[in-house]
Amino acid sequence: MRSARLTLLVTVLVVLAGCGGGPSSGGDATPEPTPTGTGTPAPTTAEATPTPTPDRDGFADPETDRLGWEAGYWYDEPLEVNASDGLNQSERAAVVARTMARIERIRNLEFESAVPVDVVDREAYRARENVTATAFDEQVWEALLLVGEDRSVEAVFESFYGASVQGSYVPSEDRIVVVSDADRPTIDRRTLTHELVHALQDQHFGFDRNASEPRDARLARQALTEGDAGYVADLYEERCGTTWSCLPRPDGGPVAGLDGDMGVYVAAYQPYSDGPAFVHHLRERGGWSAVDAAYDAPPTSASQVIHPDRYSEWSPERVRIEDRSAGNWSRFDRAPPGTTVGEASVFATLHANGGVEPFHLQRPTRSHRRYNYTHPTSTGWVGDRLVPYRSVEGEYGYVFRTEWETTGDAAAFAIAYRGLLGERWGAERRDGDVLVVPSGPYADAFRVERSGTTVTVTNAPTVADLDAVHAG
Q: How far is CA 386 from CA 73, 346, 404, in A?
A: 51, 12, 15
The DSSP code for 43 is: S
Note whether residue 4 is domain-resident: no
Average pLDDT value for residue range 334-356: 94
pLDDT digits (tens, 9 = 90+) for 222-248: 999 999 999 999 999 999 978 999 988
Average pLDDT value for residue range 98-115: 96
Q: Lowest mean pLDDT: which of 30-44, 339-353, 446-460?
A: 30-44
Average pLDDT value for residue range 336-344: 95
Is the pLDDT reported for residue 198 higher than 70? yes
More confident call, 93 vs 181? 93
Is the pLDDT reported for residue 5 higher than 50? no
Question: Does 110 lie in the same domain as 172?
Answer: yes
Question: Does 192 lie in the same domain as 94?
Answer: yes
DSSP, residue by residue, 105-157: HHH-----S---EEEEEHHHHHHT--EE--HHHHHHHHHTTSS-TTS-HHHHH
How far is it, in rounded angstroms, from Cα 388 to Cα 337?
8
Question: Does 379 lie in the same domain as 443?
Answer: yes
More confident call, 181 vs 470? 470
CB 53 within 8 A of CB 76: no
In angstroms, the first-to-last Cα distance of the chain is 53
Is the pLDDT reported for residue 41 higher than 70? no
Question: Does 227 lie in the same domain as 90?
Answer: yes
Percent over 70 (pLDDT), the chain:
84
Note whether residue 31 is domain-resident: yes
How far is it, in rounded angstroms, from Cα 382 to Cα 342?
8
How far is it, in rounded angstroms, from Cα 28 to Cα 14?
4
How far is it, in rounded angstroms, from Cα 289 to Cα 298?
14
Structural domain ending residue among the three candidates 300, 325, 344: 300
Which amino acid does the sequence have at 137? Answer: D
Q: Which stretch, 48-52, 57-61, 379-383, has highest mean pLDDT?
A: 379-383
How far is it, in rounded angstroms, from Cα 227 to Cα 269?
11
Average pLDDT value for residue range 107-127: 89
Three-class DSSP category at 73: strand
CA atoms in the 13 A half-sphere facing the CB of 309: 1
CB 332 within 8 A of CB 397: no
Is the pLDDT reported for residue 99 higher than 70? yes
pLDDT digits (tens, 9 = 90+) for 244-290: 999 888 765 444 555 567 889 899 999 999 999 999 999 999 999 99
Is the pLDDT reported for residue 313 higher than 80? yes
Average pLDDT value for residue range 332-356: 94
Structural domain ending residue among the three candidates 300, 326, 352: 300
Q: What is the pLDDT of residue 125?
A: 80
Question: Does 89 lie in the same domain as 210?
Answer: yes
- Averaged pLDDT of the chain: 85
Q: How far is CA 464 from CA 326, 445, 468, in A?
A: 12, 9, 8
Q: What is the pLDDT of residue 178?
A: 87
Which amino acid does the sequence have at 380? Answer: G
Q: What is the pLDDT of residue 334?
A: 87
Note whether residue 269 is domain-resident: yes
Question: Does 328 lie in the same domain as 239?
Answer: no
Question: Does 159 lie in the same domain as 30?
Answer: yes
Number of domains in the chain: 2
Average pLDDT value for residue range 422-437: 96
Q: Supply the range of the domain harboring residue 90.
A: 13-300
Note whether residue 329 is domain-resident: yes
CB 94 within 8 A of CB 73: yes
Question: Does 178 lie in the same domain as 109?
Answer: yes
Note whether residue 67 is domain-resident: yes
CATH, residue 370: 3.40.1000
Q: What is the pLDDT of residue 184?
A: 67
Question: Does 365 lie in the same domain as 246?
Answer: no
Which of the four pLDDT bands, split at 50, 70 and 90, describes residue 309?
Answer: very high
Question: Does 380 lie in the same domain as 326?
Answer: yes
Which of the four pLDDT bands, split at 50, 70 and 90, describes residue 16?
Answer: low
Q: What is the pLDDT of residue 90?
A: 87
Question: Does 140 lie in the same domain as 57?
Answer: yes
Average pLDDT value for residue range 383-388: 98
Which of the four pLDDT bands, split at 50, 70 and 90, describes residue 43?
Answer: very low
Average pLDDT value for residue range 113-125: 87
Q: How many CB atoms lie within 10 A of CB 254?
A: 10
CB 409 within 8 A of CB 440: no
Note whether residue 171 is domain-resident: yes
How far is it, in rounded angstroms, from Cα 17 to Cα 23?
6
Average pLDDT value for residue range 37-55: 38
Q: What is the pLDDT of residue 163?
A: 77
Question: Does 251 lie in the same domain as 131?
Answer: yes
Note whether residue 278 is domain-resident: yes
139 — phi, psi (to 5°)?
A: -70, -35
Among positive and negative, which fits the CA dihedral 247, 249, 250, 251?
negative
